[in-house]
Amino acid sequence: MKKALIIINISKNESMDLAQDIKKYLESKSIEADYISFDGFCDNTSFELYDFIVSLGGDGTVLYAARNAVSLGIPVFPVNLGQFGFIASIQPSEWKNVLDNFLNGKEPYEERSMIKVEVKREEKTIYSSLGLNDAVISSSIGASTVSLKVDYDSSLLCKLKADGIIISTSTGSTAYSVSAGGPIVDTHLDAFIMTPMNSFSLSSRPIVLSTEGVIKVEIEPCRTKNISISVDGQEHEKLLVGDSISISKYEKNIKLISCTREKFYNALRSKLNWSGGPHA
């Protein structure tokens, strides 16, 4: 390890001080470190020069890091400065010990699958992106019904009239999907979770699908004109009637340092009150 990139979430007051401490520590190990700031939006920073990424923020900062690092095979070291921390599982009080273990090859990591999203309009690809959590197709002006045709592996799965649809990974099952009534899925299970949002039909339910197939969503005619797709809540693209969106498993997995099954279950108990008793 010769060079690291530290991503600072500028909405977290403590992130800059912590970044400086981590930079000094890395330099004491003869590892060069650069800073970039993240404010919830994307930029054109090149990740190619770095051996690993340190993200300082919440899960949103990790999503940004993962989207840019996965194709290069660069691991992400996620320090949690947010509220939930389902992905950013390293606490500020433990970063030095965990980072030392990582640099010495002793810290466990997990590989998480990601989705590849492509939008085609008149057979031409107009948009593509990668996501660690989810892709959401919905009205961009609030609660308005959209009409969608959903195929899975070239077979018709359903036609939906709903506020929208969420296609999430197992990692993203604890994010927007679960708030819309979707299941919590163990991160070791490689799966797509398709969750309708306020469907017009009461029979429409979330479904878990294999990542070996491809989900294809087509925008059908409806009254709502302002329809868009959002990937990980950070990248957005306007959609038109007739657009076709394909969601497939990306060919590479992201490496997340210290994101173990034990920490995932700990987050379920502490963040979602799975601890039992009258407050569960």
- Per the annotation, the verdict on 163 as an active-site residue is no
Of 51, 59, 134, 186, the catalytic one is 59
Q: In what order do the strands lie in the sheet with 3-9?
A: 32-38, 3-9, 52-57, 76-80, 254-257, 109-112
Q: Which residues are catalytic?
A: 59
